[in-house]
Chain A
């Protein structure tokens, strides 16, 4: 009876950890799919799209997650096939310097104008 209890507990622990890891994979999958742009229904993410392209990408992301490939590696794979544009959140590289640094520049210039005006008023 003791043995039976022991095996039951082990079985439950394994079962729960399996469910937990599947949940984790699902969350990761949704996060990745929401960050990929559908090239057929442009303006929609692959997650929202029902196009043939989106369904193939969903399958590929699923398989890659299951085989233990990381989120960044999946993005790199898609970027190599379709270019930076396919990812909603683009990486910082020579094509995206302007995109990433412009808001910062505007913030600094705006801040400088405000500070200058405040000091000037005083």
Chain B
């Protein structure tokens, strides 16, 4: 009798392990930080891409409107791909786009903007990547949606697509 109980317990244990590992097979083993938690906007000072002067974050996000912070670089191929969508978003009157030029060569970045158009109301220089860390980014491109209360409400890792553009338009409506 005792042997039978032990056998049943062993069987249940093996089934339990099997289910755990089987479920684990479908999970991605690449960790992405939780994206959709409201976060406060970081306070920082950054250099302006055009005027080359330092600006405070309070002045950058001064207006009462939705803001999109897009991290981009001229060397990043997916940024080139998402650029037309940013140009489309720029037409929306309730959004202001802020670009964060990530670890880039200034001349190449200017060429990129001249060639593909400038969707940003302001571009900030992030020469050493530390400004992107303030936003909680870890690569390029990344896009953040900031609401009127100056909270980061959405974070999109990787290039944005048409579906994301529609989602953003719905939120800022």
Write the residues of chain A forming the contact surface with B, with a CB cutoff of 8 angstroms: 39-40, 42, 52-53, 55-57, 59-60, 63, 80-83, 85-86
| Beta-carbon contact of A52 and B103 below 8 Å | yes
B37 — nearest CB in chain A belongs to which residue? A83
Contact with A along B100-141 (1 / 0, CB 8 A): 000100000000000000000000000011101111101100
Interchain residue pairs with CB less than 8 A apart (24) = A39-B138, A42-B30, A42-B31, A52-B103, A52-B139, A53-B129, A53-B139, A56-B132, A59-B129, A59-B130, A60-B130, A60-B133, A63-B130, A80-B39, A81-B33, A81-B133, A81-B134, A81-B135, A82-B33, A82-B136, A82-B138, A83-B33, A83-B34, A86-B33
In the complex, the chain B residue whose C-beta lies closest to that of A39 is B138
CB distance from B7 to the nearest CB of A (A): 18
- Nearest CB in chain B: distance from A76 CB, A: 14
Range, interface on chain B = 10 to 19
Using Cβ atoms and an 8 Å threshold, which residues of chain A touch B139?
Answer: 40, 52-53
User: Which chain A residue lies CB-closest to B73?
Assistant: A52
Q: Which residue of B lies closest to A86 (CB)?
A: B33
Interface set of B (CB-CB < 8 Å, partner A): 29-31, 33-34, 39, 103, 128-130, 132-136, 138-139
A1 CB to nearest B CB, Å: 50
Instruction: Report chain A residues within 8 Å CB of B29.
Output: 42
Taking a contact as CB atoms closer than 8 A, the residue among A40, A57, A83 that contacts B133 in the complex is A57
Contact A59 B128 (CB under 8 A): yes
A10 to chain B, nearest CB (A): 37
**Residues in B neighbouring A59, C-beta threshold 8 A:** 128-130
Other than the known A52-B103, A56-B128, A81-B134, what 12 A-B pairs have Cβ atoms closer than 8 Å?
A: A39-B33, A40-B139, A42-B29, A42-B30, A53-B139, A56-B129, A56-B130, A63-B130, A82-B33, A83-B33, A85-B31, A85-B33
**Residues in B neighbouring A39, C-beta threshold 8 A:** 31, 33, 138
Instruction: Output the residue of B30, B31, B34 with the most chain A CB within 10 A.
Output: B31
Alpha-carbon gap, A81 to B31, bound state (A):
14
List 7 tightest A-B contacts by C-beta distance, closest first: A56-B129, A81-B136, A39-B138, A53-B138, A82-B33, A83-B33, A85-B31
Nearest chain A residue, comparing its CB with the CB of B136: A81
Please name all residues of chain B whose beta carbon is closer than 8 Å to the beta carbon of A42 when the two chains form the complex. 29-31
